[in-house]
Structure 1
Amino acid sequence: MGKICVEYAKLPGDYWRILIFGIGRCIKDHRGPVRNLGTMTLFSTLAEGDFDEEQLKIAYEEIFIKIFNGFQAEVYEPEWINGICSHSLTGMASVISQKFSLLQSIVPSFYSLLLSGIFKFNETLAKTALLVLKQLIYYNYKSFTDNLWDETVVVFKKLIEKLMPNELFLELVGGKLPFEPRSVSDKIVILYQVILTAKNIFCKESAIDDENENDEALDDVPIKILESFIMIFENVYILARDFDSKFELRKSLWSAGFMAGNKTLPGLFRIEKESLNLMIALVYRTENHDKVYEISKNLLYDVANKEKLFAGRKEEITSIEPVISKTLIPYLGKNVHETMKKLGPELIELITISDPLIREELKKILKLSLRFYDNNEKIT
């Protein structure tokens, strides 16, 4: 069907418009199979057809954008999200990728549409939009202009600003929550998905492994862009860690009904863990690694003294111990001399920690540090 449409679109005059708008009407048909076939045919035709820039932009503005109507509906059914919505967003992202030289100017508009979908605070819709965002960046970043990189940074800034659960730090009013718990819970869930999306885009877990030939993290990302993302997700990490460290705050929120169904106090452990993971990998790709040393100082102290912390914090530290063993300490081991100068006492204090994986990684750093002494290279 798509091939027939592509050939038909080559006819002179406005036949292309009749064709494309005719297919577009099928997308709004009341019959599911017709809608699905229409969606598939529309985007395969746009991708494979010999359309010029003006024609593609007309299809984008007058057909594609109107499918979503600015995400103004109050409720979206899973069937629509997983069907027309998902297929249309993925289809348009594919068209943009295949004709990027013609369509890169509409990427900011496409970004805005994705943000509108995410800000409906529907987890399924947000996951769909974030997946499309990831694919769009991943397949086109090598063609990004400086301006488009800046637009990409702005997208993530807006996401974080909107999704940061700052309400958690508000004072209770008469023992009651000063916010609607469901909306804040939704923000937390989607914020976690945003962090995972950024992690998948910019830094696979193998990003600090120089010998891993299958590292799929984006290369050639401008340093200033990496630094912008570090700042964005450092704010997330700081907020999550701050919240997780406040026993009385977490207890009061729980008592007032926030995440009352949980057996333990509310926490942002997953967000703290993944934002830390993301930051370490991003910093590793820059020239200034001081940020990791700064973060590590307090973090390693808490890990070493986990048993002295209150129960809720023990759970927090336990949740991030895999990051310590798999990412942070191997990262620090890349520059043992500098690490021992800045974090020697904190690392020594980890010797008695119970986690065997952390101990093993720690041994590697300490052995390397002894070689410096053997070679008369004093660490001061």
Structure 2
Amino acid sequence: MSDITAIAVPKWGIEMVEGTINVWNKTVGDTVAKGDEILEMESDKIVNVWESPADGVLRRVLVEEGEARPVGALLGVIAAANVDDASIDSFIADFGGSAPAAEDDSATDNDAPVPAAAANAGPGGDAATRSAPAVRNLAAELGVDLNTVTGTGRRGRITKDDVRAAASDGAEPAPAGVEVIPLSATRQTIAKRLTGAKQDIPHYYLTVNYELDGLLAHRAALNANGNTRVSVNDLLVKCVARALQREPRVNINVIENSIHQYSDSNVSVAIATEDGLYPVTIRAAQNLSTQEIAAATAEFAERARNGALTREDLSDGSFTVSNLGMYGIDNFTAIINPPMGAILALGKGSEQPVVRDGKVTVATIVSATLSCDHRVIDGAIGATFLKVLGEEIASLS
């Protein structure tokens, strides 16, 4: 079937497990040329474009906009105009993607033949023939009787949206004056990743306080003599990068049953936007000056605000730094961003009393909490990293 081309979810990046269709740029029956942008798909907070590898006609769309599918799942079919429908049906039935197809309701919205009873069924019809396993599972989870649901998919198929709508109809209405805001695709991606990380990764936390007076004096000197304004966070990222070189057992990714230990300190910096946090990657940060780190971070922040970040900007991070000090937060614990093995949460620097040589004095203190994946980073390793990080910070005095 060389005249038939599958549109399947590609694996854009090592961490990708599924993608959500944002928009189809073609409709069934449209002529397709090689290189045409067929659809836009969001995964890991980045929108990617799927380009056709062949000429033909878009013959089938199996998954609607807003629906998510795992890597390898079939989304649609491109075929030559002279390929008959039976051949396309056979291709779809025999298709085997690179990811498990279990619980996949991709057949929900296709043009394949559907039994007449199912095609014309409304509430009270045969729900089993009008819905895929994933739809039936969702209905059971939400307590929805599928026999009472009218399908809005092609040929009367029941979709997940139909089930959710039925569940909403039976729920208590929102109080007057309450705005109901659906989660964006980006927020849904964040929710899935963080929920999975919190459930699947055995987190533990180590907290220390660092004195910042020497670092602050160093920052003042840099800003007095340079054109690029350096923040406290920029200096801390530089110190983290150096510490990762000294304790590389924290500079890792966890991929399936293996540890990927990085030689470079690819520090991910969490940048907040209206759509959520974006962990942009400052590659080989140990080789950059603090001014170069500041410039890179500023550029990333601007691109994040404009929605112009690329997959490369968010990939290959080996360790994450999240700083909420600028929001007045004293300390917090952060959720690990998989596949990385650790994340450092930084609070605000504040003047506090400290004792030196038996005398009380005042110093600027910052609280730092390291979240570690206990499967791969033992407590002693995490503690060693925090120790060498403190030495790097002190070295700026």
Query: Which of the five TM-score ranges fits, normalised by the shorter chain?
Result: under 0.3
After TM superposition, the score normalised by the length of structure 1 is 0.23
More strand by share: 2
Greater relative contact order structure (CA < 8 Å, 6+ sep): 2
After TM superposition, the score normalised by the length of structure 2 is 0.22
More helix by share: 1
